[in-house]
């Protein structure tokens, strides 16, 4: 009889655990759907995949060593901002959609699934970081030259950092998932593409925008001299810390 009670309690516990897991999965799917719907309604279906599928901007003359803030990175790397007039223009320009040309080389990441992409990149970071540090000193130094400075490769909008996310030795200054994901994009592009430092930084800013849309689009509007006060509908952060 006593064993029967223990068995019944165990079965009840397992059922409760299964139900809780189901609720959490459903909640996650609702969140992802809401984020996707928000982006679609704000950017417009016509803009999907039309802006950020490559490195079309002319960045040949950009000296990234002169960039000292995220706002300066946006102003320097997105010259298209000179042509925007309102928040819709800024949203269409700054929020990336579709699948970048380097997706396969970086694990199949896509702007259309920013949370899953972040999760993958955050896990991949330690592997790619160790590989480059141990086996490719030239790329490692190039990575430090770009990322170990206040050029915007940081999770500054969720964790209180400034625009720099690693130390001069390459150690992360924050352990949230956004930070290693941004760093994985940076070092992954250096390893797997022929992008210049300016192009790599531009891509990092795209991913930073997809994860912190309200802040990044707001900065873009300030850079362009327009009022960012109407951006309350955009999520402040996509993906958890």
Q: Pick the closest to residue 160 from 133, 179, 188, 137 (CA basis).
A: 179
Cβ of 107: how many Cβ atoms within 10 Å? 14
DSSP 152: S
Helix axis angle, 197-211 relative to 70-77, nearest 10°? 120
* 241 residues of the chain, pLDDT tens digit each: 444 444 444 455 445 444 444 434 443 443 444 444 444 444 333 333 333 334 546 798 899 999 999 999 999 999 999 888 888 899 999 999 999 999 999 999 999 999 999 999 999 999 999 999 999 999 999 999 999 999 999 999 988 889 999 999 999 999 899 999 999 999 999 999 999 999 999 999 999 999 999 999 999 999 999 888 877 778 899 987 7
Full DSSP string of 99-111: --TTTGGGTS--T
pTM to 2 decimals?
0.78
CA–CA separation, 120 vs 17, rounded Å? 26
| CA angle, 162 then 55 then 48, to 5° | 90
Please name the residue ranges forming H helices in the chain.
Answer: 2-43, 70-77, 87-94, 114-135, 137-147, 156-159, 178-192, 197-211, 213-224
Contact call for residues 213 and 185 (beta carbons, < 8 A): no
- Token readout for 167 is 């130390």
């Amino acid at each position: 009889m006593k064993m029967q009670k223990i068995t019944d309690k165990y079965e009840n516990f397992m059922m409760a655990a299964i139900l809780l897991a189901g609720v959490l999965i459903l909640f996650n799917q609702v969140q992802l759907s809401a984020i996707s719907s928000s982006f679609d309604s704000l950017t417009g279906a016509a803009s999907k995949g039309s802006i950020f599928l490559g490195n079309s901007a002319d960045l040949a003359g950009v000296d990234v060593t002169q960039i000292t803030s995220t706002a300066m990175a946006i102003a320097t790397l997105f010259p298209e901002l000179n042509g925007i007039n309102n928040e819709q223009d800024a949203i269409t320009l700054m929020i990336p959609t579709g699948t970048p040309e380097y997706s396969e080389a970086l694990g199949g990441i896509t702007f259309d699934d920013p949370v899953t992409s972040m999760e993958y990149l955050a896990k991949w970071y330690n592997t790619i970081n160790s590989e480059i540090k141990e086996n490719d000193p030239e790329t490692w130094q190039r990575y430090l030259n770009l990322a170990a400075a206040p050029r915007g490769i940081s999770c500054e909008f969720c964790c209180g950092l400034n625009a720099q996310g690693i130390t001069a030795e390459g150690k992360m200054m924050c352990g949230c998932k956004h930070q290693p994901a941004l760093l994985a994009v940076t070092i992954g592009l250096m390893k797997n593409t022929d992008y210049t430092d300016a192009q790599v930084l531009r891509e990092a800013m795209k991913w930073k925008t997809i994860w912190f849309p309200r802040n990044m689009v707001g900065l873009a509007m300030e850079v362009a001299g327009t009022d960012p006060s109407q951006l309350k509908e955009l999520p402040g952060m996509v993906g958890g810390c």
